[in-house]
Amino acid sequence: MGKHVVVIGAGPAGLETSASLAKLGFHVTLVEKEDVSGGHLKKWHALFPTLLSGKDALETITKGLDSSIKIQTATKVTGLEAVNDYFTISGHNGWQEKADAVVLTTGFQLFDSHRKEEYGYGIYENVITSADLEELFASGKAFVNRHGNKPERVGFVHCVGSRDEKVNNLHCSKVCCITAVKQAIEVKQLLPDAEVFCFYMDLRMFGRHYEELYKEAQEKYNIQFIRGRLSESTEDRDGNIVVKVEDTLLGKPLRIKVGLLVLMAGMEPAPDTKPLANMLGLKNVSDGFIQPLDEVLHTNSTEIPGVFVAGTCSGPKSVSDTLADARSAALAVADYLKS
Amino acid sequence: MGELYNRLADDIRFVESLKACINCGTCTAICPAAEFYNYDPRVIATTVQSQDDEKIRELMSSDAIWYCGECMSCKTRCPRGNAPGLLIMALRSVSQDMGFFTESEKGRQQLAVKRTIGDQILASGYCVRPDMVDPGMHPEQGPVWDWEHKNLIPVMNKLGANYNGEGSGALRKISQDDLDELQKIFEITGGQERYDKIEEFSKEKAAEMGLEFGTDTNSEYFQHIYTANNQKHNHE
Amino acid sequence: MKLEGKRLIWQDYQKEIADDHYFYARSCIRQTFFPGAEAVFVKILKDELGKDIHDEQHHTSCTGIGYHSDVVPFDTTMTVVARQFALMTEAGYENYAASCVTSFGLYTEILDTWHHFPEKEAQIREYLFKATGREFTKPKNLAHASDIVYKFRHQIAAKAKYKLVDKNTGKPLKVVEHIGCHYSKMFPHKGIGGAEYPYVLSGMIEAWGGEVIDYPERRHCCGFGFRQYLVQANRGFSLSCSKKKFESMEPYEPDMIITNCPGCPMFLDRWQYALSEMEGKTYGENHNGIPVFTYEEVAGMIMGYDPWEIGLQVHQVPAEPLLDKIGIPYDSSRKFKGKNGEDLGMPESPSYLKFYSE
Ligand SMILES: Cc1cc2nc3c(=O)[nH]c(=O)nc-3n(C[C@H](O)[C@H](O)[C@H](O)COP(=O)(O)OP(=O)(O)OC[C@H]3O[C@@H](n4cnc5c(N)ncnc54)[C@H](O)[C@@H]3O)c2cc1C
Ligand code: SF4
Ligand code: SF4
Ligand code: SF4
């Protein structure tokens, strides 16, 4: 066949799309701006709902890569141009290639929790994000807060940077509810005596066995789920975090003191997604994620023939969603290049 | 959509204050009134959102809409860009225009506000003046205020105020021409009408309660509404 | 607490503040309770900084307290505010400086409303013309008086005789800053530092040598709540709010509280007295309270103005312990005297809160 596809972004989506395309016989170049591929998955210690190690998951995905695939790391794609029936893709470092089709797998960026000013991230030491917590788990260090204490209470704040017009993100990030449940259980396993709270608006347990994990969190681990969105956090003299939240099911405003507060930072479109999409004349919907041709039927094609999307650059997804989406993107590309 | 809901929707502040509420409680969590009173701005937002006129009427006739302190802390935080405090202002306006306010203990207090702050604005051009803060009505002001109140002229003079004087400066006398303009503005823009309605509806209520209505702050009705507290407003 | 985190946020909330030529609108509450504060503001701007400030005699209450206790309709309030703007226009000014935070919040709200609903602005212009024959131009620059003091905080520091420093230990005084809710909670971008970590007073405190305390109830309302204080039956609300703040700040042992809103210093001052009478509780050591000041008074204090000229004697929580800490001299025998030393008697001593006289 000899057709050439460039895949932009080597996270789970890019890796899996490339592997699948190579298996289908295409020449693939996978471009990644970082030195190492793996995207966000590199950072996750254990994955919901099974607690599969993130490292193992990444290894397995990477193993699927064919030696024919050219992996161009440390190259940030900054140029994308449709020329007649091919595309020119160029990187910040002068790298350039032509391709018959392009797959955008630029992923997401973690919401910058500093922007939720009222939660005090970056100001109060014991306010951390879900990503920081994964790092702490992965480090294998003793589970203590930034003051070196074992927290007696730990709070998880859902929807940080998601479902929030104050930060211009109306969308739900989909994975943070289940991530909170997973992390709450892990905290409870490390600190069986700690009280653990999840502050949520809706629990979106959309995947297989997520609801079961939630139930386990309640029954086996006695994690407290309080339906209310956090309004603010402050610090007391001992470095504890005092949060204000309403228990909306009881109709009671609460003040709760925790030793560690974890913000479930949401997903935003990766910063390069929009400029790259704009270069091709692709529509981004108002939330900044790329709009596929049809959200129900044609989730990997775009309105430009030869341009495809996979993974979280078209909206929040779990790893398993992302991988399935990547494989389906490969088929869509094959379909296009065959005709 | 009923008539009451439509009236609310006519208020600019309503448009600005309620888009769609997700019942998340962010407003309540931060609300000083919710901490003190049996009050929940989230419930106010969802009740109005139901567009159910019967429920809205009930709300406007209840104590609930009178607990808010209009600090607007809720506006800073609502993830949907709502502002229950502003919504409350729209509800209170309609409640007063329709006369529902006299049906609740806290609502009835509007006459007291009107006869103190409200009337003071038109009479002096100030919403508050030192002579108005009577130590008897304000024991919490303490002995220093009591002393100051007894010595208003020399103290104000010492502190550089132009108390009741001509020209500019703190606490200067506001001229009759300026007051006339203020009065005219109130007449043209509905301010006077609001005052009159508060008086009228309150008068009816006073008759119903068998209390002397009067025109000042010494009447039975005024004294009643100013101090009555059935102790049913707070959390257990 | 990491101050750098706050500094990053502060960078996002800078606002333009005019450099000179202010149209000054006074505050009813400020004039009533702390008229000395306004006098200090005018004096510092005029005499120390050489600024031009127009002290308008024809302006009235903005009706803000009536508006926020809901007896005055929005249209009426907007038209009264439009009249203030007309007075500014007629006086040849375009920089509006409001002494009151309620007013400042209201002006901001009204300008925002007119921006979104230009037909409303047109209607208000009509009302105003009909009622008064006046017309107006909207202010080019709208500032709260604390914004202006903030802007010149370093110049003031350069001229100051004293610092917010304990003269015995050489350590910065621990200062609680309390920002009026309507300063930036409604429109965070209109306040210096935003709504969550307002910098307007923190900036002054830093520039004048003090150290700002961050305590859990920092953002809580003082408890004015308009009708919640105006009507006697509701005052429990007001008291409970202030109390929550005192309890929360007490462990940090603050030396003083600085406020930027006209009402807050009065409540934070008086409720300390009320709590001391009701519960025998004071929040400073040795039956002292935590002295509460307006930012103007603090500016005047460090400039070395006579404490009794700027009105520190009309605070119920005595200022003396703080003046002693800084080393500001005062003549106790003149505290409760008239302008020319005439005898005005003396307030009674509270039962619990320490009282200072000759
Ligand atoms: C806190 C948190 C925990 C999570 N935990 C789990 C979990 O336990 N289980 C689970 O299933 N899912 C989890 N997820 C979701 C998971 O991270 C995503 O599903 C997955 O990372 C999506 O992969 P992706 O390839 O679409 O995006 P990414 O992982 O973001 O990868 C995108 C890649 O594109 C690269 N890139 C971007 N722009 C350019 C450019 N211009 N040029 C070159 N390269 C570029 C990036 O550097 C990156 O390597 C979690 C998410 C969060 C936020
Ligand atoms: S998944 Fe849950 S926490 Fe995440 S944005 Fe959606 S509702 Fe909020
Ligand atoms: S914060 Fe906003 S969305 Fe949430 S309950 Fe209050 S009004 Fe509704
Ligand atoms: S404005 Fe009213 S409802 Fe909003 S936080 Fe303040 S008191 Fe509560």
What domains, with CATH codes, occur in chain C? 20-145 (1.20.1050.140), 153-334 (3.40.50.11810)
pLDDT band at A1 (very low <50, low <70, confident <90, very high): low
List residues near ligand 1 (CB under 6 A): A 8-14, 31-34, 39-41, 44, 47-48, 76-77, 105-108, 110, 130-131, 175, 179, 267, 270, 272, 311-312, 317-320, 322
Which ligand 3 atom is nearest residue A229's CA?
4
- The verdict on a CB contact (< 8 Å) between C196 and A117 is yes
The residue-averaged pLDDT of B2-15 equals 92
C-alpha B59 to ligand 4 mean position (Å): 16
**What is d(CA B172, CA A100) in angstroms, rounded to the nearest whole number?**
81
What kind and span of H or E run contains C231? Answer: none
Question: Is the distance from CB of B179 to CB of B122 less than 8 angstroms?
Answer: yes
Which ligand 1 atom lies nearest to the CA of residue A108?
Answer: 30
Strand order, beta sheet including C292-294? C211-212, C174-178, C256-259, C292-294
Q: B45 in ligand 3 pocket by Cβ < 6 Å?
A: yes
Residue of B nearest to A200 (CA): B24
- Taking CA atoms only, the protein residue closest to ligand 4 atom 5 is B31
Phi, psi values for residue B82, rounded to 5°: -85, 170
Query: Smallest Cβ distance to C196: which of A118, A125, A235?
Result: A118
Write the CA distances from B124 to C23, C60, C104, integer angstroms: 22, 9, 21
pLDDT in tens, B94-104: 999 999 999 99
Q: What is the mean pLDDT of chain B?
A: 96
Residue C212: strand, helix, or coil: strand
Task: Quickly list DSSP for C288-307.
Answer: ----EEEHHHHHHHHHT--T
Relative to beta strand C174-178, strand C211-212 is parallel
B199 C-alpha vs ligand 4 centroid, how far in Å?
27
Question: Which whole number is the average pLDDT over B163-189?
Answer: 97
In chain C, residues 302-341 whose CB comes closer than 8 Å to chain B: 308-311, 313-316, 336, 338-339
Do the Cβ atoms of A309 and A104 come closer than 8 Å?
yes
Domain with CATH 1.10.1060.10 in chain B: 3-105
pLDDT of residue A147: 86
Confidence (pLDDT) at A241: 97
Superfamily of domain B3-105: Alpha-helical ferredoxin (1.10.1060.10)
User: Least CA distance to A245: which residue of chain B?
Assistant: B29
Mutate to test the interface with C, among A117, A121, A236 (most CBs of C within 10 A): A117
How does pLDDT run across A209-261, given as a tens digit for each residue? 999 999 999 999 999 999 999 999 999 999 999 999 999 999 999 999 999 99
* CA atoms within a 13 Å half-sphere pointing along the CA-CB vector of A24: 23
Return the percentage of chain A with pLDDT > 70, whole number: 99
Return the pLDDT at A283. Answer: 73
Q: What is the ipTM of this complex?
A: 0.97
What CATH topology corresponds to A113-266?
Answer: FAD/NAD(P)-binding domain (3.50.50)
Cβ-Cβ contacts under 8 Å, B34 against chain A? 246, 253
Residue B178 pLDDT: 98
C163 CB neighbour count, 10 Å cutoff: 17
Confidence of residue A84 (pLDDT cuts 50, 70, 90): confident
Residue B154 — very low, low, confident or very high, per pLDDT cuts 50/70/90? Answer: very high
Q: How far apart are CA A106 and CA A157, in angstroms?
A: 27
pLDDT of residue C99: 97
Instruction: Decide if C216 and A234 are in contact by the 8 Å CB cutoff.
Output: yes
What is the rounded average pLDDT of the residues C50-70? Answer: 97
pLDDT at A339: 73
Which residues have C-beta within 8 Å of that of residue A163, sequence separation ≥ 6? A169, A170, A171, A172, A201, B22, B79
What is the structure's pLDDT at B2? Answer: 85
pLDDT tens string A99-143: 999 999 999 999 999 999 999 999 999 999 999 999 999 999 999
A4-107+270-338, CATH topology level: FAD/NAD(P)-binding domain (3.50.50)
- Summarize the confidence of residues C246-269 as an average pLDDT: 96
Q: pTM value?
A: 0.96
Adjacent-strand bridge partners of C142? C96
> Using CB atoms, which residue from B29, B43, B80 is nearest to A244?
B29
What is the rounded average pLDDT of the residues B173-197?
A: 98
Does the C-beta of B78 come closer than 6 Å to ligand 3?
yes
- Residue of C30, C31, C100 best to disrupt the B interface, most CBs of B under 10 A: C31
Of chain A, the end-to-end C-alpha distance in Å amounts to: 12
Q: What is the residue-averaged pLDDT of chain A?
A: 96
**Domain locations along chain A:** 4-107+270-338, 113-266
Percentage of chain C beyond pLDDT 70 is: 100
pLDDT band at A186 (very low <50, low <70, confident <90, very high): very high
Contact (CB<8Å) A246/B34: yes
> For residue B1, what pLDDT is reported?
66
Q: DSSP letters of C307-354?
A: TTTTTGGG-SS-SHHHHHHHT----GGGTTB-TTS-B---PPPPSSS-
